[in-house]
Amino acid sequence: MNKVPSVDLTDFLSEDPSRKQKFINEIGKAYEEIGFVALKGHFLSDKLIDDLYAEIKKFFDLPQETKDKYEIEGIGGQRGYTSFGKEHAKGRKEGDLKEFWHFGQYVEDNPKLEKEYPDNVQVEELPKFNEVGKETYKQLERTAKYVLRALALHLGLEETYFDKYIKNGNSILRPIHYPPIKEEPKNAVRAAAHGDINLITLLMGAQGRGLQVQNHEGEWIDAIAEPDELMINVGDMLSRHTNNRLKSTIHQVINPPKELWGTSRYSVPFFMHPVSDMPLDVLDNCVDENHPKLYEDITAGEFLHERLIELGLIKA
C-alpha cells in the first residue's frame, strides 16, 4: 500500500446497514494493511478548528519565561507545558525539535479517577485557551468512540466493547509547535520515527507535507490529509490487544526542505487512552494456530508506565 486510504464516518453513523458495513470493511482493511486512515465526517466544526489554532499560536508565542511557569514538575509532562527538546523517541538520545501542551481528561462521576489524574493547567494569560481546548478534546473523544465501535465490529466483538474502557480514559490532547529551524540539526528531526503508545491517535494538522508513515515494505510514504480530514492511526495498545492484527505503524515528522526552515509547523494529536485498569490481554479471537499469542498479559496503566520511562518522561 503506497497511500493512506480515506474513509467517511458519516457512512458508519448512517441508518443504512450497507453503508455502515462499508465503513467497517474499509477501516478494518486499512488498519490491517497500513495502520492509518484519513477520516472525513468527524465532529470538529471549522470554527472550532480555527479557534483552536488561533489559541495555540497565541500560547506558543508567549515569552519563554511565561510558558515555563506552566511546566509542572513531577507529573511526567502529563498536563501543561513541555519545553523544546525534552521528549525523544524510544531508543534515541536526541530530543525532538518541538514544544507542546497537554490537556487531559475532564472526569465525570468518578472520584477515584479524579484523584488519579493530574488537574488540567489553566493559562491565565489566555482566557479562551482552556475553553477551546476542552471542547476540542470532547469532540475528538466522541469521534474516537465511533471509530473504536467500528473496529470492535470488525474484530467480531460487541459494538460497544471499548465504551466502558474509554469513558473517563487517560486520553491526552497535545497541541505541538515545531519552531523554525535556525541551524543544521545534529541528527534531530521534528519527531523521530516512533509508534504511538495508546489505542488510537486522531491527528489534526496533517494537511501539509511532513508526516510520513512506514508501509510493510519499509518504504516511507507521505501522509497528507485533505482540509476536512483527520489522520487516525492504531497505537501499540490496540495492536497488542489484537495480537498485531491491527497494525501500529511507525511514523515520523521530517524536517522541511531548507527553504522552509524559517516556518513553524503546528499539529494537534489526540491520544485515545483507556482507563489504566483495562486489560490489554490478547483477544481470544485474534489467536489461532497460524497466529500464536505474541504478548504477555498486562494492563493499560502498566504498559503506559513502561513506555513513559522509555521516552524519558518519567524516571524508572
pLDDT of residue 22: 97
pLDDT of residue 209: 74
- Percent of the chain residues topping a pLDDT of 70: 92
Look at residue 144 and tell me whether its pLDDT is greater than 90: yes
Nearest residue to 244 via CA among 208, 204, 293, 171 = 293
Nearest residue to 58 via CA among 132, 7, 143 = 132
pLDDT of residue 206: 65
In this prediction, residues 82-88 reach a mean pLDDT of: 71
Per mean pLDDT, which range of 29-33, 132-136, 173-177, 257-261 is the poorest? 257-261
In this prediction, residues 296-314 reach a mean pLDDT of: 86
Look at residue 312 and tell me whether its pLDDT is greater than 90: no
pLDDT of residue 189: 61
In this prediction, residues 30-47 reach a mean pLDDT of: 94
Per mean pLDDT, which range of 4-18, 89-103, 107-121 is the poorest? 89-103
Question: Which residue matches cell numbers 504498559?
Answer: 303
Cβ(123)–Cβ(175) below 8 Å:
no
pLDDT of residue 88: 53
In this prediction, residues 246-253 reach a mean pLDDT of: 88
Which CATH code for domain 6-310?
2.60.120.330
Cβ(128)–Cβ(141) below 8 Å:
no
pLDDT of residue 294: 94
CA distance 202 to 198: 11
Cβ(211)–Cβ(203) below 8 Å:
yes
pLDDT of residue 91: 59
Q: Strand order of the sheet with strand 220-222?
A: 191-194, 251-253, 211-214, 220-222
> Where does the pLDDT of residue 182 fall: very low under 50, low under 70, confident under 90, or very high at 90 and above?
confident
In this prediction, residues 243-269 reach a mean pLDDT of: 84
Per mean pLDDT, which range of 59-68, 240-249, 253-262 is the poorest? 253-262
Per mean pLDDT, which range of 66-80, 156-170, 267-281 is the poorest? 66-80
Nearest residue to 39 via CA among 47, 48, 30 = 30
CA distance 82 to 163: 30
pLDDT of residue 254: 78
pLDDT of residue 190: 60
Per mean pLDDT, which range of 9-18, 82-91, 141-150 is the poorest? 82-91
pLDDT of residue 75: 79
Give 262-293 pLDDT, tens digit per residue.
Answer: 778 888 999 999 999 999 999 999 999 999 99
Cite the beta strand spans of the chain per DSSP E.
Answer: 6-8, 36-40, 80-82, 99-102, 172-173, 176-178, 191-194, 200-204, 211-214, 220-222, 230-234, 251-253, 265-272
> Where does the pLDDT of residue 89 fall: very low under 50, low under 70, confident under 90, or very high at 90 and above?
low
Question: Which residue matches cell numbers 472525513?
Answer: 40
pLDDT of residue 211: 86
Average model confidence (pLDDT) across the chain: 89
In this prediction, residues 2-16 reach a mean pLDDT of: 92
Structure pTM?
0.91
